[in-house]
A = this chain, B = another copy of it.
């Protein structure tokens, strides 16, 4: 399966995974240095309460592998590249995050993984809430049970 490409022009596209959208953020190219930006709520559909940065990930390692019950996330690979997978229990897709002007919005109740980090990759996540261990679903069968209303 070919990963879905981010749109060339500024804007967001829906995906086959429920609620997941792939974004091209504004870019301002300039010989003195390039700039890209995102605004709450025009580009990022939630109030940002926390960010985290993941870096120095060994290339073979898979990160993520969980869903959130309520948390919303907006992922940007701000340097280097990685791939992100999203899965709503019915449909799954893979995305290439290889440019700081590409954003991936992950709503609650989507199983997310990130992998194939380049050595120099830095992944920025903007999130809608503070860390809460109880918001994580770390078992895929449990995730399927919860989306099917089986808990």
Q: For chain A, what secondary structure do more than half of its interface residues adopt (helix, strand, loop), or is it mixed?
A: strand
Q: How far is the CB of A124 from the nearest CB of chain B, in Å?
A: 7
Which of the 9-residue segments A32-40, A88-96, A105-113, A141-149 touches chain B?
A: A32-40
Residues in B neighbouring A34, C-beta threshold 8 A? 54-56
Asked whether A49 lies within 8 Å of B40 as measured between CB atoms, the reply is: yes
Known contacts: A79-B78, A79-B122. The answer to whether A33 contacts B58 by CB under 8 A is yes
Check B40 against A53 for contact (C-beta < 8 Å).
no
Residues from chain B with a CB closer than 8 A to the CB of A150 are none
Do residues A55 and B40 form an inter-chain contact, with CB atoms below 8 A? no
Chain A interface size, under 10 / 10 to 19 / 20 to 34 / 35 or more: 35 or more
**Per-residue 0/1 for A61-102: is the Cβ within 8 Å of any B Cβ (1 yes, 0 no)?**
101000000000000101110000000000000000000100
Residue of B nearest to A27 (CB): B53
A residues lining the B interface (CB < 8 Å): 31-40, 47-58, 61, 63, 76, 78-80, 100, 117, 120, 122, 124, 126, 130-131
